[in-house]
Copies of this chain bind each other. A is one copy, B any other.
Amino acid sequence: MTTSQPAKHPTSLEALRDALRQFAAERDWDQFHTPKNLATALSVEVAELLEHFQWLTPEQSQRMTTAQLAAIRLELADVLLYLIRLSDRLGVDLLVAAVDKMAINAKKYPVDLAKGTAKKYTEL
């Protein structure tokens, strides 16, 4: 018996990565999963997420209904799944990359300059 579902309570992105590998392999989808195609699919998923917010006021986006949130939750999941899959195909360790990027962001946006402003770092 093969299954492409991860354990009920994954504690790491690695478990999801492995489940996605198996999911694609079982369906012979590696041929479609070029980094270019996966980056495109990721972009499409993010837009499906964004669609839920497009006409909302800032306030409305902070108090979603249960039904809205249930739909959004699954869109967030899709984004994560494609992001993990794309990173895997590129050989990138997402968590390590994220830690590195946070260190870069901390330098780009020093607290004393960035406090209370949404300006881009190039304009601080």
Contacts and interface: CB of A to CB of B under 8 A. Distances in A.
B97 A86 contact: no
Interface in A35-87: 35-37, 39-44, 46-58, 61-62, 64, 69, 72-74, 76-81, 83, 86-87
Decide if the interface of chain A is mainly helix, strand, loop or mixed.
Answer: helix
A11 interface: yes
B36 A106 contact: no
Interface of A: 4-6, 8-13, 16, 19-20, 23, 26-29, 31-32, 34-37, 39-44, 46-58, 61-62, 64, 69, 72-74, 76-81, 83, 86-87, 89-92, 94-106, 109, 111, 114-116, 118
